Amino acid sequence: MHTKTIAELARGLRSGEFSSVELTWNFLDRITQYQNLNAFITVTADQALAQAEAADKKLAAGSTGLMTGIPIAQKDIFCTDGVKTSCGSKMLDNFIAPYDATVVTKFNDAGAVMLGKLNMDEFAMGSSNETSFYGPVLNPWDTNAVPGGSSGGSAAAVAARLVPGVTGTDTGGSIRQPAALCGITGLKPTYGRVSRYGMIAYASSLDQGGPMTRTAEDAAILLQTMAGFDEKDSTSVDKPVPDYLASITQKLDGLTIGLPKEFFGEGLDAGIAAIIESAVDEYRRLGATVKEVSMPNLKYAIPAYYIIAPAECSANLSRFDGVRFGYRCENPADLTDLYTRSRGEGFGKEVKRRILIGTYALSAGYYDAYYLKAQKVRRLISEDFKKALSDVDVIMGPVTPSTAFGLGEKTGDPIQMYLSDIYTIAINLAGLPAISIPAGFLNAMPVGLQIIGQYFAEDRLLNVAHQYQQVTDWHQRSPKGFE
């Protein structure tokens, strides 16, 4: 059963081929079997089986919901009522959320079965899933390599067939980059498409939740459940949610693809460039035309991001002070000691680094020089995308400059780690949707193709991705030992 996609599992459940309880046990057994990957922080077996039993009753009564009885898992950044929500941090190791995030509520209402909470970089800060308080996640394609981050547990769990679909979050590439490094499909929706209520904030103007699955069709099913306006989230956009499955079968005749010349310069592995070019050639055979586009301000994306994101992180993480919830130091001498030791002991190195950078950028005398200037650059990058997308339907390029790197290879060099997101960060700054899909292998490791679209054009991205997956089999490959 673990080899089936969500669409196939939904058909099997509705036809009575197997029950949700049987399906849930199957995946719980695999999670136990492959716990060495460290993909899960918490496994909610009892809750999952209770949800599966309830789903079977709905199915017996004639429920036709595509998510009814389907096992999923949530990135441990989404609050789950009565279940630990740690954000991969010692700071929240003892935090039991008193409510569900809107995304969690939507899946519960749809009849999905939650298997547990997935490992992640601490407070979503990282590109390798090595900053987690619970230890690094291993890439199932090579357990000496990273799975990417911050949604590394999500990507590894899907790639290893521990769960058919999961949630992730993307602040600067944290859905797409691990999806590419683990050979799965990952969609970052338009900013405001998916509610952020109950999703613990890193950088509020950049964070966005999205689905991570094996196929574009499955991503469409999950996004259908996740998307929609939420009055509890002031950044949520009140815009109708289309039927994402309705358009995925459309042919691509007349599609115009833009290739940014800035994506194919120095720093990109030649092998990855060749794989991306091969994927674009496949789109030509599917009826698309290709033209070069230019976005000259993309080179400023990383410096702008690493001013804006840490600044927002500095503000958001100020709430973790040892007073109301989360980690609290022992025997504080006074209030100042409580604050400094609780935060000093509760946060990891990378989180502290970003808080310090953000606090500095927001401080008197530096706000105009750094934060305000970064926001102006952000607008220029958005205008670059707007201009490029006025001439083409989608933009394509690599997701990462290299395949998955080794565990510990970049932990001592934060700048090199930050450059892992060089092709993804600009999309978050602009608030656009983008998807990563498997496009080939380089030295036996997965390579992802990134497809970027117009605002709220997730249906078009899913269509473009799905059509590619109808004529290729990269998304069907399994890591050795996890078949």
* pLDDT value of residue 414: 87
- Active-site residue, 150 included: yes
The answer, yes or no, to whether residue 153 has pLDDT greater than 90, is: yes
- Active-site residue, 174 included: yes
- Residue 76 inside a domain? The answer is yes
* pLDDT value of residue 364: 86
* Percent of all residues in the chain with a pLDDT value above 90, rounded to a whole number: 96
Query: What residues are paired with 35 via a beta bridge?
Result: none
Whole-angstrom distance, CA of residue 138 vs CA of residue 159: 11
* 3-class SS string, the chain: CCCCCHHHHHHHHHHCCCCHHHHHHHHHHHHHHCHHHCCEEEECHHHHHHHHHHHHHHHHCCCCCCCCCCEEEEECCECECCEECCCCCHHHCCCECCCCCHHHHHHHHCCCEEEEEECCCHHHCCCCCCCCCCCCCCECCECCECCCCCCHHHHHHHHCCCCCEEEEECCCCCCHHHHHHHCCEEEECCCCCECCCCECCCCCCCCCEEEEECCHHHHHHHHHHHECCCCCCCCCCCCCCCCCCCCCCCCCCCCEEEEEHHHHCCCCCHHHHHHHHHHHHHHHHCCCEEEEECCHHHHHHHHHHHHHHHHHHHHHHHHCCCCCCCCCCCCCCCHHHHHHHHHHHHCCHHHHHHHHHHHHHHCCCCHHHHHHHHHHHHHHHHHHHHHHHCCCCEEEEECCCCCCCECCCCCCCHHHHHHHHCCCHHHHHHCCCEEEEEEEEECCEEEEEEEECCCCCHHHHHHHHHHHHHHCCHHHCCCCCCC
Tell me the HSE value of 275 on the side-chain side, using a 13 A CA sphere: 28
Catalytic residue among 132, 154, 174, 342: 174
pLDDT tens digits along 426-441: 999 999 999 999 999 9
Confidence of residue 126 (pLDDT cuts 50, 70, 90): very high
Q: In the predicted model, what is the mean pLDDT of residues 132-154?
A: 98
CATH code at position 138: 3.90.1300.10
Catalytic residue among 86, 127, 150, 436: 150
Cβ atoms 439, 185 nearer than 8 A: no
- Residue 227 inside a domain? The answer is yes
- Residue 41 inside a domain? The answer is yes
- Residue 45 inside a domain? The answer is yes
- Residue 219 inside a domain? The answer is yes
The reply to whether omega before 150 is within 30° of 0 (cis) is yes
- Residue 384 inside a domain? The answer is no
- Residue 64 inside a domain? The answer is yes
Catalytic residue among 20, 75, 117, 127: 75
- Domains contained in the chain, number: 1
- Residue 95 inside a domain? The answer is yes
What's the token pair of residue 102? 């809107």
Confidence of residue 421 (pLDDT cuts 50, 70, 90): very high
Ranking 152-161, 327-336, 407-416, 474-483 by mean pLDDT, the lowest is 407-416
- Active-site residue, 86 included: no
pLDDT tens digits along 52-110: 999 999 999 998 899 999 999 999 999 999 999 999 999 999 999 999 999 999 999 99
* pLDDT value of residue 15: 95
Name the residue range of residue 150's domain: 6-255+461-466
Confidence of residue 36 (pLDDT cuts 50, 70, 90): very high
For the full predicted model, state whether its pTM sits above 0.95.
yes
